[in-house]
Copies of this chain bind each other. A is one copy, B any other.
Amino acid sequence: MERIQNDTVYIGRKPMMNYVLAVVSQFNVGSENVIIKARGKSISRAVDVAEVVRKRYVTDAKVREIRIGTEQLPDEAGKTTNVSSIEIFLAK
């Protein structure tokens, strides 16, 4: 049975290379698709991760699609705040 493997790497506040290596590792264990997801200020780092993976480590990976959106998160006061999000779909 054919199966498209999808693996997601969530970008947080750790050094960029941690996430680069996480994405590269996913491709190395056989994933054909890796999704890089981030919210808020981590969005810039998500783009950095995708670019470094593509240019330096997995040069046959392509950006298949990029989606942006808005997520509603609870804040400390019990209200919700809107936070932008990004999903970058890399594929070999």
Contacts and interface: CB of A to CB of B under 8 A. Distances in A.
A92 interface: no
Contacts of A41: 41, 44
Query: Which of A44, A66, A68 has the largest count of B CB atoms less than 10 A from its CB?
Result: A44
Number of copies: 2
Contact of A47 (B43, B48, B63): B43
B55 A70 contact: yes
Contacts of A82: 51
B84 A68 contact: no
B48 A84 contact: yes
Interface of A: 40-44, 47-48, 50-51, 55, 63, 66-70, 82, 84-86, 88
